[in-house]
């Protein structure tokens, strides 16, 4: 299993805590700052945070917009999103986030 990484070094915010926040509906940097304490003060982190927010499935390189498109075209289960986009078909770690996107519609 991959070792968790610290993304915001000032406030010691890890990659996994960002992903957990996304699974509760966090989609923007402002929301991430409120939910996780990311200090949001350096451009390097910001670039990485934007990429993390945009990505749903690292195994298959599936983006948030791809999953939203799948949901908008009628995929109402994690399995159906997987059939359309490929997300969730390998390690399965992104399935909770996919379900959250289905639940919220964004």
| C-alpha atoms less than 13 angstroms from C-alpha of 23 in its C-beta half-sphere | 12
Cβ distance to ligand FES smaller for residue 83 or 92: 92
Q: In Å, what is the CA distance from 88 to each residue of 17, 43, 58, 62, 79? A: 19, 30, 9, 9, 8
Binders of ligand FES in range 6-25 (CB under 6 A)? 8-11
Query: Where are the strands (E) in the chain, listed by range?
Result: 6-8, 13-14, 55-57, 62-63
49/92 Cα distance (integer angstroms): 21
Residue 38 in the binding site for ligand FES (CB under 6 A): yes
Cβ closest to ligand FES, residue 14 vs residue 27: 14
For ligand FES, the binding residues in 44-103 under the rule CB under 6 A are 45, 57-59, 87-94
- Minimum distance, C-beta of residue 38 to ligand FES, in the bound complex (Å): 5
Look at residues 58, 84, 56 and name the one whose alpha carbon lies nearest to residue 71: 84
Q: Work out which of 5, 24, 28, 42 binds ligand FES, going by CB under 6 A.
A: 42
Our finding on whether 40 is near ligand FES (CB under 6 A) is yes
Residues lying near ligand FES in the complex (CB under 6 A): 8-11, 38-42, 45, 57-59, 87-94
């Amino acid at each position: 299993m991959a070792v968790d990484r610290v993304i915001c070094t000032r406030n010691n915010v890890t990659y996994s805590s960002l992903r957990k926040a996304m699974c509760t509906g966090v989609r923007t940097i402002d929301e991430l700052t409120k939910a996780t304490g990311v200090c949001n003060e350096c451009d390097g982190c910001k670039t990485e945070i934007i990429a993390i927010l945009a990505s749903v499935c690292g195994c298959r390189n599936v983006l948030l917009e791809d999953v939203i498109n799948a949901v908008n075209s009628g995929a109402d289960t994690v399995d159906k999103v997987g059939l359309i986009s490929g997300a969730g078909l390998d390690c399965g770690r992104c399935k909770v986030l996919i379900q959250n996107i289905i639940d919220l519609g964004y």
